[in-house]
Structure 1
Amino acid sequence: MSTQSPHSTHTAQVSRNAAQPGGAPSAPAAQPKGSWRRGRWMLFLIALICGAPIAISYFTYYVIKPKGGSTSYGTLIEPQRTIPSSLMVTGDDGREVPLASLRGRWLMISVDGGACDEACVHKLYFMRQVRATQGAERERVVTLWLRSDDANVPAVVRSAYPDTRMLRADGAAVAAWLPATDTTKDTDHIYLVDPNGNLMMRFPDHPDPSKIKQDVTKLLKWSSIG
């Protein structure tokens, strides 16, 4: 029986190591492709879950628009009408500014003469109540009375609606912007303008304020603007 000397064993081991490039140990095995693909899918699913609420809100507001008489109480104005750049309004301080300068919040607009008859008072009351019922969101809504003449506002009306902006505007210019129906006038309606300055909705004459409230609540929920 032959024996192998320690020197020969050491020489053989050195030869096997030298057969590898640089004499270094072999590199670890590459990560399986399946694991890499699972990681990519996991990142995709996380991004999808995080972005879904934003995508749904934009799709609901800009694509599934409410239609008058079906999913909303108010009539959607199509196409939307931007506040005319030439439409000026004047406050009690006598300062004249473009109505478009009020963009940035939702505007609920009523139009009437300064004397403010019973129908005028009802609209102001409805707008105030609809805004108040929005809770913490009410600061996103501005109630606006466009006065179509220079008549003095009764003191009792002014004191009852201190949060309503009361601005004078040219009646003809306002009527040209705010659409009515074949049987109504702009003074019969409450209108809604979005924070981008687009006239988007008209509520019926003799409206139901609880239904106006539902429409406004939905719009504030669906949209993050304003």
Structure 2
Amino acid sequence: MTEQTTDYKPDAKTLFWNRVQLLAVFAVFLAPIAGAFLYKPTKFNNYGDLYTPAPTLAPLALTGVNGETEFAQYKEQDLWAFLVVAQGACGENCEKSILNSRQLRAMQGKHLERLRSVLIYSDLPASVAQDLAKKYQPVDVYEADPEQLKVWAEQLVPEGVPANELDDRFYVVDSKGLLMISYPSDAEPNRVKKDLSRLLKSRR
């Protein structure tokens, strides 16, 4: 006597739920991978004083070795600026900020060409400005009208920073002309570098 076997054929409803379960298993395994590719952080624990929201810097007329220009030239050239402002004098801490901005630019590796170190001054003897430009090259050095610079610099003041930490800071302006973050002259370069690396990556 021959034993007969019958092939089992699941009905349509069973097939549907089997496929749903299979897709759910794939989703569980693929979600972390997809998230890693798609996630782009918009906030981070910063070392410097972050401007939130980041303000657009007002226009400012400048005079440099190549004649008259505007601070907006960096935005037009799609460049970031490490900015130092000196009004009436540039003492030890001011020079330290210029040095830090130049060194931090050099530390950015592949992002180096996206950055400029900038000194804007007023009421400094021409010989002092020339000496600073030579001492800390490459740095873009510009003169501004004293009254205009005084008003313009007011927008650089970060909220919540003690008064004794407001002088001789250096500022980071992105390629859209937005004031992003600032640091005191004695900021730790390696910690600043981490901030800048994350900012540059998040605002490509």
Counterpart position of 1:80: 54
1:95 partner SS: strand
Asked if the contact 2:133/2:140 (under 8 Å) is kept, the reply is no
Percent of residue pairs identical? 27
Query: How big is the shift at 1:174?
Result: 2.6
Choose which of 137, 141, 149 in structure 2 pairs with 1:171: 149
Structure 2 match to 1:91: 64
Instruction: State the one-letter code of the partner of 1:163.
Output: P
- Equivalent residue for 1:101, pick from 73, 87, 90: 73
CA RMSD in angstroms, aligned pairs only? 3.4
Opposite residue 178 of structure 1, the aligned amino acid is L
Q: Distance in 2 between matches of 1:222 and 1:160?
A: 33
**Aligned-partner residue type, residue 91 of structure 1:** G
Cα distance in 1 for partners of 2:165, 2:60 equals 19
| C-alpha distance in structure 2 between counterparts of 1:51 and 1:89, whole Å | 48
- C-alpha spacing 1:153/1:212, structure 2 compared with 1 (3 Å): farther
Report which structure shows greater RCO (CA 8 Å, sep ≥6): 2
Aligned 1:125-164 pairs, distance under 5 A: 125-154=99-128, 155-164=130-139
- The gaps in structure 2 that reach 5 residues or longer are 1-14
Q: CA deviation at 1:95?
A: 1.1
Q: Which has the larger radius of gyration?
A: 1
Is residue 98–residue 170 contact of structure 2 (8 Å, CA) maintained in 1? no
Shift of 1:150: 4.6
* 1-structure distance, mates of 2:37, 2:81: 24
The answer to whether the 8 A contact 1:133-1:213 is kept is: yes
Count of aligned pairs between the two proteins? 181
Q: Distance in 2 between matches of 1:184 and 1:88?
A: 29
Q: Are positions 1:117 and 2:91 aligned together? A: yes
Amino acid at match of 2:151: A
CA offsets 1:164-191 (integer angstroms, 9 cap, x no match): 1111223212322211434147542111
> CA distance change for structure 1 residues 147 and 54 in 2, over 3 Å: closer, same or farther?
farther
Per-residue deviation at 1:141?
Answer: 1.5
Number of the residue aligned with 1:210: 190
- Counterpart of 1:172, as a letter, is K
Cα distance in 2 for residues equivalent to 1:115 and 1:76: 26
1:161 positional shift? 2.3
Alpha-carbon displacement from aligned partner over 1:117-173 (angstroms, at most 9, x marks no partner) = 222211111111111111122112211111133522534422232221111223212
TM-score for both structures, normalised by structure 1? 0.65
Alignment gaps of 5+ in structure 1: 1-32
Taking the aligned partners of 1:187 and 1:74, their CA distance within structure 2 comes to 15
- Aligned residue type for 2:189: P
